[in-house]
Structure 1
Amino acid sequence: MEKKLIKIHRVTKVVKGGRIFSYTATSIVGNRKKNIGLGRGKSREVLESIKKSYLKAKKNILKLNFSKNIIPYFLFAKHCATKVFLYPANDIIGLIASKYVKQVLNIIGVFSVFSKIHGSTNAINVVICTIKALSLIKK
């Protein structure tokens, strides 16, 4: 399994005695054979939150249905204020996508897609939306 860290976010809680910092890590896990898992972990230390996110991603693995390493037709998904459009492309074109969409598609094993994002470009929402769009593929 291949692991990729999407984002680490520092959260601050203000209390009477000062500030308390905690960290949220978001990661994806895949094997380049159409399996992907998304996980989020929270902890007061960075390394613990990363480990938790990897463990949760391994538990939430989703099997996607498509035959080759290309998407067969146009896909669209929406999550919160994020809309992701995925268009099939030739092998010559390759991946034309944002940073987070590229990470998801690389970990699945898809290497020829043109994508567009409308609305919010929040990293976590874009990843969730891309996985939703890919899960809509029917055999």
Structure 2
Amino acid sequence: MQIRRCACVVKGGRRFSFAALVVTGDSKGNVGFGYGKGGEVPVAVEKATKVANRRQKPVHLQTSAQGTTIPHRVEGRFGASKVLLIPASPGTGVIAGAVVKAVVESAGVSDILTKSRGSNNPVNMVKATMNALAKLRTRDDIARLRGVEV
């Protein structure tokens, strides 16, 4: 969760508003994000959480007895932000920046390597990470699309 404070100057003085970026997930392959604004921090967080829960989407993960990672290397883009997600061997952990780490951990990924390029705007980074996770396909999905049996 990330909270930002903005000030607007009006006749009576400064008026503050707060913006919250929230990522939610069940650690079993579903993840979503939300952005909310309000006059107080709890209001902004509540709005963002509602939106995040509504926007949850499934992610294809490679689950095995040794650990959980993604099935293949993938790049996600949004605006000027680019995020590269690379599968890692069991025991590696989540090697990522704060924003990307929040998204992949909420999805249930425990072993992954990441690299971010371009803009590091938190909202765009979350959207780029979600874009990358949406591009993931399992071996069974690819085989079905090609009409081949594995």
Q: Which runs of 5+ in 1 are unaligned?
A: none
Deviating above 2 A after TM superposition, structure 1's stretches of 4 or more consecutive aligned residues are: none
Give, in angstroms, the shift of residue 91 of structure 1. Answer: 0.8
Which residue of 1 is the match for residue 6 of structure 2? 11
Q: 2:32 aligns with which of 37, 40, 49?
A: 37
Offset, 1:21: 0.7
**Counting strand residues as a fraction of each chain, which structure ranks higher?**
1
Cα distance in 1 for residues equivalent to 2:54 and 2:102? 19
Asked if residue 71 in structure 1 is aligned to residue 70 in structure 2, the reply is yes
Matched, 1:53 2:48: yes
The equivalent of 2:98 in structure 1 is 99
Report the CA distance between 1:67 and its aligned residue.
3.9
Q: What is the aligned residue count? A: 134
TM-score calculated relative to the size of structure 2: 0.84
Letter in 1 for 2:27: R
Aligned-residue RMSD, C-alpha? 1.3
Q: Which of structures 1 and 2 has the bigger CA Rg?
A: 2
Query: Mean Cα displacement is larger for which, 92-101 or 70-79?
Result: 92-101
Give matches, 1:77-116, under 5 Å: 77-116=76-115
**1:128 aligns to 2:123 (yes or no):** no
Query: Conserved in 1, the CA contact under 8 Å of 2:61 and 2:109?
Result: no
Is the Cα contact below 8 Å between 2:60 and 2:70 reproduced in 1? no
Residue deviations 1:51-91 (CA, integer Å, cap 9, x gap) = 11111111111111234221111110111111101111101
Percent same amino acid at aligned positions? 35
Task: State the TM-score, normalizing by the size of structure 1.
Answer: 0.90
- Of the structure 1 ranges 49-58 and 59-68, higher mean CA displacement relative to structure 2 is found in 59-68
Q: Quote the offset at 1:120 in angstroms.
A: 1.3
Q: Distance in 1 between matches of 2:84 and 2:77?
A: 9
5+ long unaligned stretches in structure 2: 139-150
Q: Distance in 2 between matches of 1:92 and 1:30?
A: 22
